[in-house]
Amino acid sequence: MRGSVASYPIFPAPAAVLGKPLPLSTLRITKGTITDLAWILFIIGAGSAARPLGVQNVERYFWLAADLIVVLFLLHDYRPLLTMSLKNKLLMTWPAIATLSALWSYNPGISLYHGLQLFMTTMVGFLFCSQIDRKRIPRILFLGLLVCLLSSVAFKFVNPHQAYDGNGAFQGVFTHKNVLGSMMTLLIFTSTCLFFAHWRPLLTLAAAAAAAIVLVMSKSGTALIMAVLTLMPIMLAFLVRRGPRTLSAGVGAIIVISVLACTAIVFAQIDVFGLALASVGKDATLTGRTILWGFGADAFLEHPWLGFGYKGYWESTQSTVFYLRYVIGQDLWFFHNNFIEMAVAFGFMGPILLIAGILQGYGRTLRVFLRDHDYISLWYVLFMVCVTIDSFVEYPLFLNHGLYQFLFVAVVASSGAALSDRKRTRRHQGRRNDV
């Protein structure tokens, strides 16, 4: 898109370096520029990277602004967002069940309020992918995360006491080391895909390297494992792009190496899981997560059909939440596992809807990548890998106001639109051939 931030040259053009005047088209501020800047600012604020402003829970104001903008768009012309909602009915079941759970929730007011927020977050995701071309979504995300990276590094020198938590882990401008680690993981694989797509290669390569350093500084073991696992499919993507023969040979080699490695591990009696956890500073309980999951399993068995309602368990005086916080020793507000969280909130239907949404995301993103074989399409697949891994140890999806939920909606909806456009093009070409 001409005139957009994502299309601007990051470094000055040769004419500017030589002292020659830049063309007016380069300096013109367009509607696309303002739109891009607004989304970049939203990504920064909604990702909890505005902590240096000194306002408690400052991200809520960014979400409020986004919600109000969606309302204005709906009042002006509701048809585009309505069309996108109808094309993504499965995504719409998430805010629907969250809102309806107020009927049986242990805290109906909270379930209704947060369910409506989840609906607005879904609408914000639809608005994002309707305004930003799918090839430019990774670029917009990259620029927002790059600002977060640079701000965190600067915050380290400006206010070093707040840049680190009580255990000496670097958290930068974010509220927690795990949030910083999660954002840096996003930046690493986003930069990697843009680098291979030949978009600002020097900048994206430098950003990936810097993000990796900051990720290590955060001492977030879960984020480090997530980054490594998310990048692993890139090798398989290389093989896919090389053609069927190379893919078959590569997959065969991977299978042989895996079998030999598993055989060696069994005979040598190596505790691979324990070594992996020890390498990132984790114990067998995953820093108390297994104890937390036990409380979640008990809560699910208490109400397996309908659950406690959306956020009902955490906002009720009748659940075991206070005992849980006493045992864990932290003021927690989620189970650090998306599937358990949904099971407690909605009973058996919760994990089913969550898994169905994730599978739809994989189906759409993989189909687009296998069709196009480009690195921008690969980014969408890697995002699905990343958010899936994160779902086992955090709470990224089904969250009323969450950056990952916002991006998930945009990824699934944008990939679905790409598949629909190709089908429409084929039908049009078929009609022309008939004529």
pTM over 0.85: yes
CB-CB contact of 282 with 221 (8 Å): yes
Mean of the per-residue pLDDT values of the chain:
84
Among 209, 216, 224, residue whose Cα is nearest residue 170: 216
Among 285, 305, 374, residue whose Cα is nearest residue 345: 305
> Which contacts of 159-165 are long-range, i.e. CB under 8 A and separated by 24 or more positions?
159/52, 162/51
Calculate the CA dihedral of residues 309, 43, 189, 248 and round it to 10 degrees.
Answer: 60
* Reduced 3-state DSSP string for 194-257: HHHCCCCHHHHHHHHHHHHHHHHHHCCHHHHHHHHHHHCHHHHHHHHHHCHHHHHHHHHHHHHH
Whether the pLDDT of residue 401 is over 50: the answer is: yes
SS3 164: strand
The residue-averaged pLDDT of 74-93 equals: 94
The residue-averaged pLDDT of 141-165 equals: 90
pLDDT digits (tens, 9 = 90+) for 211-223: 999 999 998 888 8
pLDDT digits (tens, 9 = 90+) for 85-122: 999 999 999 999 999 999 999 999 999 999 999 999 99
Q: Distance between CA atoms of 196 and 217, rounded to whole angstroms? A: 26
Q: 373 vs 238, which has greater pLDDT?
A: 373
- Give the pLDDT confidence score for residue 237 in this predicted structure: 82
